[in-house]
Structure 1
C-alpha cells in the first residue's frame, strides 16, 4: 500500500513554472503537454512543504546561518544512500550545479584551454564552456545495443596538453546510464595520467532504478578521489529545483582550498533560509517518499516502453537506469530533425527536448520527461501514436 499520491493532477499554469509558462515562446504553440524540462509534476514530500509553511509563519526572513544539522544531513545521506564517507569541511553550498561548473572553469582553466565532454550529454556542459571562451572537445559515447558506453580509446586519442577538465554526467543525462565502478576507474586513470580534472555531476544519483546502484566517482580509486570535484543536489530527487540547494564535495585539500576561496571571495557560498532548510528536511525525512517515487517512475517507463512496442515499433525506448528522463530513439522514422520536432509539436501536440540540443549525436532522438501522473503520460503517448499513424 502506498502512502503518497503521485496520480494527483496539480495545476501548474500561472505558477511561474518554466515548464508550462514558456511553451509558446519555446515551441511556437501553447496547446502542448509539456514533457521537457527536467522537473516533475509531483508535489514535493509533504514533510518538506509543511516545514516551509511552518517556518514562514514566523514572518521574519533575515540572514540565515548554516547549521551543523545541514552538513550532517548531507553526510548521513551520502553514507546511507551511496556508502560514501565525507566530512563537513569537504562540503560547500553552491547556487546551482551549472553555476558550480562555471566557477570550476574560472578557477582551474584559462581562456583557450580545452574541456572534454561526452555527447550526447546535458547541453549546459557545452554552453557554459563556450561562454567562458574555452574550447569544447567532444569524445562521443558509443551506443552499444540499447545503452551507452564510454569510448576510452577515443578519449586517449583526443587528449592534448590544453585539455584541463572533463565534465562527467554520472548518472548520464540524457541516456540514463549508471556508470559502473570499472568504467569510472578507467576514466580516472586516463585523466589522472594526463592531469585532467574530472567534474562529476551526480544530480540524478539518488534516482537509480530497477536495482541499479550509483557509484560516486570519487570512491572508485585514490586517483578518482584526489582528482575530482563532485557536484550534487536534492533538487531532482525531491522536485525542488527552484529552491537552489546544490553543493560540492571535494576530497583533495588543495583543490578544495582553491575552489572554496573563490566561492568565499565572491560570496557565492551562501544560500537562502529555504536552501538550507529544504535540503535538510528532504535528506532527513524524504527517503520513504523517494522510494515510492522511484517505483512510480519505473512503472511510467514500463508503460511507455510497452505501449510503443505494441503500437509503434519505430520509436524505441532506451530504458534509463536512473532518473525520470527517457531517451527515445526515433531514427527508424527516417525524418530530419526538423521534421521529427514538427511531428512531436504540431501533430502529437507534445513538448519534448530536441535530441540535437545534446550534440549532433542526438540527431534522431528526443528526450521525454515521465515525471508526471500516469493519466498525463497515457494521454501524451496516445497522442504520439495517433500522430504516427
Structure 2
C-alpha cells in the first residue's frame, strides 16, 4: 500500500473532539474513544499539500470560488455514482447538519412536521426539534439477518397533512445500509404522492464497502429529483471534518430558487478559504488514498467480526455496506441500558455511541468506529472481551 494506516497518531493536545469531549460527556477522560465519526488516519497527503501551498501566500483575504470547484464535484459524482449533475443544481453549504436546520426553517411552517426513520443519526431529530418542529417516528424494520427495511405501511399510518419533510440517511448511519434502487424509487413515489420534501444526507456515499454501491436518491426517478435536496461532502470520506465543506444538489428549480436564494441572501453559499481547496484536492487527487483506506477499513471490519465470534459471542457486529461505523448488536448479553453503559464505560473503559441515542430501535446496540489502526481496535476489543467475561 502507498499510504500508511497502521501508525497510531497521538491526537490528544490537537483540540480534537474525540478526546477533548470525553470529560464533559462521560465525566472522565481515561476512556479509549471510538465514538465520534471521524478517523484516526492521517489525511491524504495531496490534500495537506494543497492546503500548505495556499498557506505559503502570506495574505488570507476574501476569496472566490475556484474555476475547478464545480467540475471536480461533477466529475467525481458522475464517475463514482453515474449521476450527471448540472452547474445550476449545486451550491456550497456550511455543513450538512446546518443544512438540515436551514431547510426546516425555510420550507416548514412552525406547526409542520418532519418524518425520520430510526434508529438513525441523532441530529435528524434533534435539529428539527431544536428548531421547534415536531418529529414523527417511522422506525425501520429489523430483519432476521440484522439489516433493516423501510416500513412503508408505517409511513402510510404516520404521514398526515402536517408532515412536510422526510429526512433520509443514504447510506444509512448507524446501520451502514446502501439502500437499493427499488427501495429509493418506492420512497420517492410515496413522498411525491404525499407532497413531502426529502433531504437525502449522502455524506457516507463515497465509502461503499464489500462490493456494494451507493445510489443517489435524486437519480432514481424524475419524481425523486423533483422533491429532493441532496447533501454531500468529501469530509467523511477523506477525514477532513474540521474543514467544513459541503454542498447541496437541487435539480428542481422551484426548490432551488427558494433554498439557494436564501443561502445567497445570507451569504451562506460563500465558502471559507480552505473549503474549495480541500474539496478539489480530495476529488482530483485522493482516489488512490480512498481506495486503500476502504480496503483497510474492510479488513478492520473482518477483524472485529472474527474477534467477536471467537471471544465475545454475545456481541454480534452488523457488517456495514458503507462507512467505518459498525453497529454492534449486544442484546444477547441481556443487559439493561444502564448495565450496558456500565460494561463499556466503567468496566471496559471504552467510549462508544450507545444505541438509544439513535432513537427507537437502537436499544441494546452500540456504535463502534473502526476508522483506526488495527492495533488500536485490537486493544479496545481485548478490554471489552475481558469486561464481558467478568459479567
- Fold match (TM-score > 0.5): yes
The answer for the alignment partner of 2:87 in structure 1 is 88
Displacement of 1:360 in angstroms is 2.8
- Residue 226 (str. 1) matches residue 197 (str. 2): no
Aligned to 1:67: 66
The aligned residue for residue 41 of structure 1 is 40
Q: Which runs of 5+ in 2 are unaligned?
A: none
Equivalent in the alignment of 2:359 = 359
Corresponding residue number in structure 2 for 1:8: 7
TM-score between both structures, scaled by the size of structure 2: 0.98
Partner residue, 1:197: 197
Residue deviations 1:300-323 (CA, integer Å, cap 9, x gap): 000001100111111010110000
The secondary structure found in structure 2 opposite 1:242 is coil
1 CA distance for matches of 2:131 and 2:60? 35
Aligned residue in 1 for 2:49: 50
Once residues 332 and 26 of structure 2 are traced to their aligned partners in structure 1, the CA distance between those partners, rounded to angstroms, is 24
Q: What are structure 1's unaligned runs of at least 5 residues?
A: none
Give the alignment of 1:209-224 within 5 angstroms.
Answer: 209-224=209-224
Of 284-293 and 47-56, the range deviating more from structure 2? 47-56
Whether contact under 8 Å (2:139, 2:360) holds in the other structure is: no
Deviation at 1:26, TM superposition (A): 1.0
SS of residue paired to 1:12: coil
Q: Deviations over 1:77-116 (max 9, x none)?
A: 1001101000111110010000011111111101111100
Report the Cα distance in structure 2 between the residues aligned to 1:335 and 1:176, rounded to whole angstroms.
Answer: 24
CA-CA distance at 1:219 after TM superposition: 0.8
Name the CA distance, whole Å, in 2 between partners of 1:146 and 1:298.
19
Q: Which residues in structure 2 correspond to 1:106-185 (within 5 Å)? A: 106-144=105-143, 145-185=145-185
Question: For 1:129 and 1:31, how far apart are their aligned partners in 2?
Answer: 34
Provide the rounded CA distance (Å) in 2 between the counterparts of 1:314 and 1:112: 44
Distance 2:316 2:3 in 1: 31
Distance in 2, matches of 1:312 and 1:237, equals: 29
**1:268-323 Cα distance to aligned partner (Å, 9 max, x none):** 11111101100010000001100000000000000001100111111010110000
Instruction: Determine the structure 2 residue equivalent to 1:349.
Output: 349
CA contact (8 A) 2:230 2:248 kept: yes
- Cα distance in 1 between the residues matched to 2:187 and 2:231: 17
Q: Quick check: 1:368 aligned with 2:368?
A: yes
- Contact 2:120–2:169 under 8 Å retained in 1: yes
What is residue 254 of structure 2 aligned with on the other side? 254
**Residue 334 (structure 1) shift:** 1.1
Q: Matches of 2:28 and 2:326 in 1, distance apart?
A: 23
C-alpha separation in 2, matches of 1:378 and 1:364:
22
Deviation per residue, 1:21-75 (Å, 9 max, x gap): 1111111221111100000001110001111112111121000101220111110
The alignment yields a C-alpha RMSD, in angstroms, of 0.7
How far apart in 2 are the matches of 1:287 and 1:337?
A: 41
More helix by share: 1
- The separation in 2 between residues aligned to 1:21 and 1:385, in whole angstroms, is 26
CA distance in 1, matches of 2:147, 2:360: 17
Partner of 2:78: 79
> Counterpart of 1:281?
281
| Residue-by-residue CA offset, 1:242-279 (whole Å, 9 max, x unaligned) | 10011100000110000001101111111111011000
2:139, 2:361 within 8 Å by CA — same for their partners in 1? yes
Quote the Cα distance in structure 1 between the aligned partners of 2:387 and 2:348.
Answer: 5
The CA deviation at 1:361 is: 1.4
Following superposition, the deviation at residue 382 of structure 1 comes to 0.6
Describe the superposition over 1:192-237 as per-residue Cα deviations: whole angstroms up to 9, x where unpaired: 0000011000000000000001000011111001110000100000
**Distance (whole Å) between structure 2 residues aligned to residue 342 and residue 76 of structure 1:** 48
1:305 alignment counterpart: 305
Aligned residues: 388
TM value normalised by structure 1: 0.99
Q: 1:306-358 CA distances to partner (integer Å, 9 max, x unpaired)?
A: 10011111101011000000000011111111111111011111110011100
Q: Structure 2 CA distance, aligned partners of 1:248 and 1:237?
A: 17
**SS state of the match for residue 367, structure 2?**
strand
Alignment of 1:330-349 (within 5 A): 330-349=330-349
